[in-house]
Amino acid sequence: MSLIDQAFQANSNFTRDFDRSLTKVPTPRIAIVTCMDCRLSRLDQMLGLETLDVQVIRNAGAMATEDVIRTLVISIRVIGTEEILIMGHTRCGLNGLHEDEFVAKLADETGTTDGLTIGFMAFTDVENNVREQVQTVRSHPWIPKRIPVRGAVFDVDTGQLRAV
């Protein structure tokens, strides 16, 4: 059975004992931009935050793409978010990825060379990368200056969050 089928099945049990406190109208106070990596999924445990206090935005590498800016602007102006944390992590799959080779292989196998206009956004230094993403968000004209934007790296070997 596929994981998706398993998920639908498990959801039936969840629905039976459904706890409305999990899904009341949200009043989140912080948006966290982090990586899709499954080791970063338990933000409540890692950061001691209440689930309903946090909007979570995740892509490969915790990059401040246009999509992330779009999402942050919605989060601030529609939902009421007051702080932003950009959280990269050690051992990220994008750290050290050879993007030219990766794209060449994709193009070779699929016959399509231009599947993305934005590239894959590989990087070589996670702390520098987080600093750059923080700068991109801070300097965007649609992100209000009153919103603090901070950066951190989560170390997957120790569980430690380091400010950058």
Site for a second copy in 65-104 (CB under 8 A): 65-71, 73-75, 77-79, 83, 85, 91, 93-94, 97, 102
Q: Applying CB under 8 A, which of residues 1, 101, 108, 118 lies at the interface with a second copy?
A: 118
User: Of 18, 16, 12, 50, nearest to 32 (Cα)?
Assistant: 50
Q: Applying CB under 8 A, which of residues 1, 10, 95, 104 lies at the interface with a second copy?
A: 10
Dihedrals φ, ψ of 8, to 5°? -60, -40
Tokens of 35: 């990586």
Q: Applying CB under 8 A, which of residues 1, 26, 88, 136 lies at the interface with a second copy?
A: 26
N-term to C-term CA, the chain: 43
**Residue among 10 and 125 whose Cβ is closer to a second copy:** 10
Please name the residue ranges forming H helices in the chain: 3-16, 43-47, 66-74, 99-110, 126-138
Q: Applying CB under 8 A, which of residues 1, 101, 108, 112 lies at the interface with a second copy?
A: 112
User: Of 142, 11, 145, 160, nearest to 89 (Cα)?
Assistant: 160
Shortest Cβ distance from residue 125 to a second copy (Å)? 18
Q: Applying CB under 8 A, which of residues 126, 150, 153, 164 lies at the interface with a second copy?
A: 150
| 36 forms part of the interface with a second copy (CB under 8 A) | yes
Shortest Cβ distance from residue 16 to a second copy (Å)? 9
Shortest Cβ distance from residue 127 to a second copy (Å)? 16
Alpha carbon distances (Å) from 66 to 8, 63, 103: 32, 9, 21
